[in-house]
Structure 1
């Protein structure tokens, strides 16, 4: 990922997005992130199984009428490979014809994590290719999944000047924020008049990635599903956080030793997608998505098959869909190619009213 043109605020200060990109690159290169936090696929197999079923339905819709076509199954930020393992297991069982035509493509920059993923996926016998960027994934029908990927991309933070004269920007120096006195407000803040002390966050990297995926879907048949934590609409506030050993710590101290994340602005991401002409659905809350895909029924079946683990299964399900847990904080956004490229794919599974973003039901 290229660094921003403006990196220094003077006196050794570093713009927040540059600091965050450098810190997370060091973190993922050296540490096991799953010692510090746990993601939905690690909580319960139900999450990955339902997303695998989502990929099966969506992939068949993309390939309908193209009996000899192959499907690219891509994931951005695959972690240990747990999500892909669960998706492939379901695909091999419920869609063996589709599974036989799959190739897997993982966007992963960490050599250490690539080795973990390779070990996890070798049992399936499907071709797996690793990529540093989306651009190197070959052309063809594609289903892409990204779970807790956008939240780790670097943000910029702006603060309303106390004098009411526009925005100032957060830089980092010696483990603390400093404010830039000379900042040009980015396009994302155009027309937005700040209150003194108000904090606004933007994530050009997240919107840029979503837009790159969208442009690809406007060039070749495909679909994408983003699941992450954040807000349905653009909101003010400081959401930058850091976790080390499962505990919150300062995001500015000891860079590279903690996972830095921020809430995803789904309104901004959807806007970036729709600017390309792609069909955009959601965001819907994670709980609503998983329930619509059959989470409760799947948990019931697992409990029946392993009654001694029923309490563990139910507890994990509640963590995924409970309104006070991940069910409401996490959201999902789906993208589909324009109808001219995917005429048989009308709406993505799990998005109840099937209404594209920005359109009234």
Structure 2
């Protein structure tokens, strides 16, 4: 092993030689030889291209800034908590409560009692049952286009359904639509005020992307509440109170509402103790068949009432499921065509509804067909 001074002295000539070669001009023999060697080396050994330098993207900068802000917030929060633990805890608790309040504002009903206390229609009279009905695709169907704006069609028999059953039920429209959209439509659909109360999106529960109609906060005895809706999810908390009708999208031959009239009327006239027991007949979704079955049962009950005179409904027909047709409006004989007799006496008024369109407050009407 040579001493350090000897190593440096031996390497000095080599360093000087390399400097001379590097500084020699191309015209010098040494320079010409080095230039040719460099050319051969560069030609024989391919050089890998250097990848272009890419500037950081906006996303990466945003991510870095977010991480920096989060880290700063954590450090600042920790420092604040160390300096004032009680004050920091109170501040965090207040912020959480404020966020919860905002969530509840949109996700829970606007009040704990959606309807006022129910009073009899006249002093000393009976307390009416409650009929809750959906709006969109149950009573109406709406479409939108840039050319004509909103066009709203009412389901066949919707007006007659509301007018007739208002004598037997307290009618509540409960929709998941906004009041700014639904209110003008309801004013057009029900100019005579057969609908007692109207509930909108603000009164629904919002869970897992569905606006749910919670009957527990309706302020009504659920044994006397019937719900008509096209969407089983929206009444999923109380399926035993629900009648699920087919979704209506403009079919002018639809008779779902008219078919339900004798069933709903008979439950009132028979004074059933719990509507949920009667609604089990409609659980399979085949409304026409279920109503026909219920009418047969009601007729059998009437036959068994020996010598008992049958009461009459509002229009003079038998209350026992309208087994006997007649009365002041649209009575038809057994020989008439079945298609014109759908819905009992209501078959004669089961004409297509009208379409009213345009912005709220400026609607016009035209025939649906």
Q: TM-score by structure 1 length?
A: 0.27
> Larger % of strand: which?
1
Bigger relative contact order, structure 1 or 2 (CA pairs below 8 A, ≥6 apart): 1
> Larger % of helix: which?
2
Q: TM-score by structure 2 length?
A: 0.26
Name which one, 1 or 2, has greater alpha-carbon Rg.
2
